[in-house]
Amino acid sequence: MDSRSILAQLPYSTPFLFVDKILEVSENSITGEYTFSPDLDFYKGHFKDNPITPGVILTECMAQIGVVCLGIYLLNAEGTKKETPGVALSSSEIEYLKPVYPGEKVTVISEKQYFRFNKLKCKIKMADSEGNLVCKGVIAGMIIKG
């Protein structure tokens, strides 16, 4: 399965799509990128005169690339095909280390810890374009097969 096929199956669209590109994917890991456009609405109020990307949005970006995209790949590898899989975040534990500003590109790297009983749990980290660690943690979600 190629990255274009994975992106086509994502259950998100603008303005809530936080995946630009899948760089590599295997049964054990995925790496992807996203650039936070300065035009995104949440920058208008978070924070006044000093906008940064909210932590919940960083977590969402990590989940979309690190759990949902990897989950789509794994389901297709099993032979389960569905245009838009159902996904539900079941847990997250994220440590935020550095702010992400409007216009910054981030890279998300996810390593599968396990995928069983439709639950995917991954160790995920996000880095800025200079390779500095932005945040890291563990995210798990339920991937609903079609």
Number of neighbouring beta carbons within 10 Å of residue 123: 15
Catalytic residue chosen out of the listed positions 21, 46, 105, 119: 46
Is 52 one of the catalytic residues?
no
Six token digits for residue 123: 């160790």
CA-angle at 118, arms to 115 and 120, nearest 5°: 40
- DSSP, collapsed to helix, strand or coil, labels residue 114 as strand
Sequence-ordered list of residues with C-beta below 8 angstroms from that of 78, at least 6 positions apart, any chain: none
Cα-based distances in Å from 44 to 15, 40, 41:
15, 8, 6
Cα-based distances in Å from 17 to 77, 114, 116:
23, 25, 26
By annotation, the residues acting in catalysis are 46
